A = this chain, B = another copy of it.
Amino acid sequence: MNIRLRHDAIVRSLRRNGTSTIDALAAEVGASRRTILRDIGALRDEGFVIHSESGRGGGVQLDPQSVQTKARLSVAEVFALLISVAAMRAAQSLPFSDLADSGLAKIEKALPSDKVRDLRRFLDCLHIGRLSPQQDISDIKPIDPALLPAFETAFLQRFHLRFEYRDAKGAKTNREVEPQAMLILSPLWYLVAWDPAREDFRHFRMDRISKPVTIEGAPFRQRHVPFENDVCPFNDLPSRK
């Protein structure tokens, strides 16, 4: 029997039976006492918390707190999860968000380092504030998930972004801008960009943007975006260590 399969079998058995002895495990998975002892050691090295007690009535026990799971996630999925937690924190509805954060930290750690760099660069652009109560949000629409790839590329490569924008009155314009930051005023999301045609910053509501296209070319320069006082960079949020 393969070593990985055996490790899985041991973990499953410990989860099912709560507690067991080395000899019982050996009989169950069809390996020797010595091998099981080695496996237990390896599992502990992998991060499983396994208690053991000598003597009559003793045995090994898997700490239920350490019940863990492996999942293969695409970078885009990790990204989406991170933004979800950011949005949640933005809304200041924070139950359990520290736990979500610690889960994300682990996921982040497992990402390839170049992707982590990208992720951090994107998160540096993310800002969080609170919506003023008088803002009208009756016409809010779900944001098209198809926006993500173009936005990601535009932010990371510093490419210009062209899109169609529908303003509050429903009038449509075409824009070509330099994406500088994302602003979350939950439940609204804004793209904060430098509009070279107007030589000024503009806020664009994400749910009014459509047909985004990145324009490849010389990367634009990053600018200091003037934010209101109560807007906070995502990476400076209190519990994000």
Contacts and interface: CB of A to CB of B under 8 A. Distances in A.
Interface of A: 11-12, 15-16, 47, 65-81, 83-85, 87-88, 91-100, 102-104, 106-107, 109-112, 114-115, 140, 142-143, 145, 147-148, 184, 186-189, 206
Contact of A96 (B88, B148, B188): B148
A80 B97 contact: yes
A151 B82 CA distance: 25
A186 to B, nearest CB: 5
Nearest to A100: B80
Contacts of A81: 81, 84-85, 100, 103-104
A212 to B, nearest CB: 12
Contacts of A106: 71-73, 77
Majority secondary structure of chain A interface residues (helix, strand, loop or mixed): helix
State how many copies of this chain the complex holds: 2
Contact of A87 (B67, B93, B103): B93
A95 B47 contact: no
Nearest to A130: B187
Contacts of A142: 92, 94
B145 A107 contact: no
A128 to B, nearest CB: 12
Contacts of A184: 93
Given A69-B111, A71-B110, A78 B103 contact: yes
